[in-house]
Structure 1
Amino acid sequence: MRIARFAHAKGMSFGVVEGEPDAGPEGLTIAEIEGHPFGEIKLTNARWALADVRLLSPILPSKVVCVGRNYAEHAAELGNEVPAEPLLFLKPSTSVIGPRDAIRLPVQSKQVEHEAELAVIIGPPGARRADRAAAQQAVFGYACANDVTARDLQRSDGQWTRAKGFDSFCPLGPWISTGLDVSDLEIRCEVGRNPDEMEVRQLGRTKDLIFDIPTLVSYISHVMTLLPGDVILTGTPAGVSPLTDGDTVTVRIDGIGELSNPVVTLA
């Protein structure tokens, strides 16, 4: 099931995306559900063509917990060792944006880079000191994400809060895919200025994660309570590179879909 959060003429709703994944927006519809998706899914009588609504970030998390250096090749490309335990950091909830929202390049940085990632969305009742089995049960679904990073500030600050925390530095979407086997999915990141001339910058597979999803959820839950709706970014494959004004960056993950965002300079 694909669950989206979207804006329409009458307000904002959650809905179930219907249609073949390869059909494109013109071939998909979205059926509104009652209330929040955490619980029994009940459809209302409202339905829209997906092309007629605006997709929002599929969830508004209380926190975004990120995992650094969780692909060996990415750790190597930045000159880092593979960590012995998951390397955690946080992105603020205010960094979250949705599909087609602009990534805004801050004046403080001269080197903002993309990081395509698989996002884990936690469902009820959340997770606290969970073992692997309970950790897997706590997963509601998955989405595409982009852990946008001011690389020069990450180096100069010696810690990652500012580099990872700017507004718009956590694109998330296009929806939440549930019931998905994520043990071996392709993650692809493309960047370009023309939809017909996009360059593949990152190409990896989730089978190469150093720490798998149950391990991450369990480990994090022994540090902090994970609440329903919280998001975990699981790490990025090799190939991170700079974004510039006028670019569009697209993250594609098998079984989920694609997340595209334009890049603009913050005035």
Structure 2
Amino acid sequence: MGVHVARFKTGSEIRWGVVREEKLVVIPGSYATLAEFLGEGAARARRLAAAPEGETLAVRDVELLSPVTAPCNVVCQGQNYRSHMLEVGQDPDAKDFNQFFRKASSALTSSRGPIIKPERVRMLDYEIELGLVIGRHLSGPSRVKRENLHEFIAGLVICNDVSARDIQLAEGQWYKAKSFRTFCPAGPYLYLLDAEDNARVMNLNLRLSVNEQVRQDSNTSEMVYPPEETLSELSEVMDLFPGDLVMTGTPRGVAAGHNAPKNAKFIRKVLMAVLSEKDLSKLVVKMQSRNPAYLKDGDVVRATISSPDGGIHLGTQENRVVAASRAAP
């Protein structure tokens, strides 16, 4: 079995610990970044998990931080779950390429930190995603297979790909729409992967609620492009480094898909025949602006990812949406 670890703050000091129920066994050493921790820190975590000793703290007495640290590459997959493709009018069986985009690492925030809603954003959406933390430097094409995932992925983490849909749709700028500060809650726990966990990566339950109303409830088995295919392709395109984050897409239930018509694909095809891409985007934004499912000031977003047997549990995110006008400077 792998090991659950957390990055946390106590007083003015930032430390790492092995998670044991509601306690943290403090890992000796100082690690300024996730990349630093993935060396000796991860090895110490595994030894402590096998034979716990030393200082122990209660989880409730510390401030949990994002285990993923900036700066790093944050690479995201778009429309990688069958149900999500269907809800936005796309055909998953017709998809013949893996869609990638970027997100600024300055968007990272903790599993308890506020999601700041900019004044200019009217259509704020959520997307629960499984995050893959890169464990080794990939400087050229690599053949990643299901059985050797643990050689490339250091661990797993919950992420929320918060998105400003009005900017994404109206301007066609995914990077800007998804990169505002606090638009990437990550954690609370990082699960350090073992060889025996490789197969379990494709059987994890994802669940997200807004104000205790379940919005997303799915399983990673729904992915169109699984992690091994994704990492193999990315390694042909770009360098990846220890501590980098790959977000693997979201299932159905996002606000943008709320009450979407069953024939959305047909309607979009008809509209594209008579409207320019710009006019179509304006129409979609106008229609979506009346959608009550988008996040509002005061909403609480709760997210969990776990295996059916509970052996992998990435903790619980609970982030409150706060209007920028009310956020502390």
TM-score (norm. length: structure 1): 0.90
SS in 2 for 1:38: helix
The AA in structure 2 aligned to 1:100 is R
Q: How far off is 1:90 after superposition?
A: 0.5
**1:136 deviation in Å?**
4.8
Q: Which residue of 2 aligns with 1:95?
A: 107
Alpha-carbon separation, structure 2, partners of 1:151 and 1:243: 11
Specify the structure having the higher radius of gyration (Cα). Answer: 2
CA distance in 2, matches of 1:259, 1:143: 11
1:95 maps to a residue whose letter is A
**Structure-2 residue corresponding to 1:162:** 176
* Residue aligning to 2:160: 146
1:248 aligns with 2:293: no
- Asked if structure 2 preserves the Cα contact closer than 8 Å seen for 1:6 and 1:12, the reply is yes
Structure 1 counterpart of 2:281: none
Q: Deviations over 1:76-113 (max 9, x none)?
A: 22223443111000000100001110001111211000
Q: Is the 8 A contact 2:83 2:222 kept in 1?
A: no
Within 5 A, what are the aligned runs for 1:1-267?
1-19=3-21, 27-35=22-30, 36-40=36-40, 41-42=43-44, 45-61=54-70, 62-82=72-92, 83-126=95-138, 128-133=140-145, 136-179=150-193, 180=197, 181-192=200-211, 198-241=212-255, 242-254=294-306, 255=312, 256-267=314-325
| Distance across 2 between alignment mates of 1:45 and 1:234 | 36
Cα deviation for residue 215 of structure 1 reads: 0.9
1:79 aligned partner, one-letter code:
G
Distance 1:149 1:76 in 2: 19
Larger displacement relative to structure 2 (118-127 or 226-235) = 118-127
Q: How large is the Cα RMSD of the aligned pairs?
A: 1.7
The amino acid that maps onto 1:13 is R
Moved more, 68-77 or 118-127: 118-127
What percentage of aligned pairs have identical amino acids?
34
Q: TM-score, normalised by structure 2?
A: 0.73
1:219 Cα offset (Å): 1.2
Residue ranges of structure 1 left out of the alignment (5+ in a row): 20-26, 193-197
Greater mean alpha carbon deviation, residues 257-266 or residues 204-213: 257-266
The structure whose residues are more often strand, as a share, is: 1
Give the distance between the partners of 1:141 and 1:129, measured in 2 at CA.
Answer: 21
- In 2, distance between residues paired with 1:28 and 1:120? 24
Matched residues in 1 for 2:237 and 2:111: separation? Answer: 31
| Number of aligned residue pairs | 255
User: How far did residue 14 of structure 1 move?
Assistant: 1.6
Query: Cα–Cα, structure 1 residues 209 and 6, in superposed 2: closer, same or farther, change >3 Å?
Result: same
Distance 2:139 2:216 in 1: 31
Structure 2: unaligned runs, 5 residues or longer: 31-35, 256-293, 307-311
CA contact (8 A) 1:148 1:164 kept: yes
Question: Which ranges of 4 or more aligned residues in structure 1 deviate by more than 6 Å?
Answer: none
